[in-house]
Structure 1
Amino acid sequence: MANAVYELLNPVPFGFFVATLIFDIIYARSAEVMWVKGAAWLVTFGLLFAVIPRLINLVQVWITGRRYSTTADKLDFWLNLFAIVAAIFNAFVHSRDAYAVVPTSVWLSVCTVILLSIAHVVIAAQRSAPGDVIHE
């Protein structure tokens, strides 16, 4: 059951954080306050959806699956954790006045998306490595 919840919720924060980055870039180019307010909501929802998969991953990688977890699983966990920390800082930046958000929010959004992208690539490479058996 935990694997099903993890696989269902794990990609959701990535979408929210990419949308946050897009909204931050649009705001930086247009100075229309609506975009930065939307980005604040997106980063908040992304963080809400990021908590449950990370807790499941914490238990699977570090507590119950120490013998079965790979280096890629641990790297994925740390990259996601650092991305969440960057997103938390980004949420605090978005709580400021709209004109005080740029450029910090853009850089934090870029950092979050890059870290999550690397984490997804690491897991995808692990799953497609030759000789590995995928358990379904």
Structure 2
Amino acid sequence: MSYPAVPRRSAVANAIYGLFNPIPFGFFVAALIFDIIYAKTGTILWAKSAAWLITLGLIFAIIPRLVNLTQVWITSRRFSTGADHVDFWLNVVAIVAAILNAFVHSRDAYAIMPAGVWLSVLTVALIAIGHIIIAVRYSTDREYFHG
């Protein structure tokens, strides 16, 4: 019985993607926590810090999305699976939500609420769902190839 060949991707691109992909998620989760604290306390420091975290998350989201774009849609498109496509689109929608969230956070004082919290929740949820889909795909691939 023969198994299909495991698709190969660039080791450098995988290393760059693996290094930079978790960073935006951490910034967006921290921004969500700061938004919740701001909603509870009203201290403007938390809202300004959340705005900075969202901006930094968007800056760090550029590199892994470009690597993911080339791997999923350009260079390795015949090896990419449906899970790769779903993860890519979930991250794109999350980045759009984060951009809208950055604009919401440019408002003055309490005008950020409740849209800032909901957009932060949406951003974190979409990226988390994408991570879960990829994790499930890799775990089932390992069972298939090694099981």
TM over 0.5: yes
Per-residue CA distance 1:24-62 (angstroms, 9 max, x = gap): 000001000000000000000000000110011000000
Q: 2:78 is matched by which residue type in structure 1? A: R
1:93 positional shift: 0.4
The residue that corresponds to 1:119 in the other structure is 130
Show structure 2 runs of 5+ residues with no match.
1-11
Query: Does residue 63 of structure 2 align to residue 52 of structure 1?
Result: yes
Q: How much identity, in percent, do the aligned residues show? A: 65
Structure 2 CA distance, aligned partners of 1:19 and 1:78? 22
Partner secondary structure for residue 144 of structure 2: coil
Q: Which runs of 4+ in 1 moved over 4 A?
A: none
Q: 2:111 is matched by which residue type in structure 1? A: A
Structure 2 CA distance, aligned partners of 1:73 and 1:39? 29
Within a 5 Å distance, the mapping from 1:1-136 to structure 2 comes to: 1-129=12-140, 130-132=143-145
1:99 positional shift: 1.5
Partner secondary structure for residue 88 of structure 1: helix
Q: 1:94 is matched by which residue type in structure 2? A: H
**Gap change, CA 1:36 and 1:132, over 3 Å in 2:** farther
Q: 1:74 is matched by which residue type in structure 2? A: H
Structure 2 CA distance, aligned partners of 1:56 and 1:98? 37
Q: 2:20 is matched by which residue type in structure 1? A: L
Q: 1:33 is matched by which residue type in structure 2? A: I
What RMSD, in angstroms, separates the aligned Cα atoms of the two structures? 0.8
**Gap change, CA 1:37 and 1:73, over 3 Å in 2:** same
1:132 positional shift: 3.9
Structure 2 CA distance, aligned partners of 1:33 and 1:15? 21
Q: 1:39 is matched by which residue type in structure 2? A: A
Aligned residue pairs, count: 133
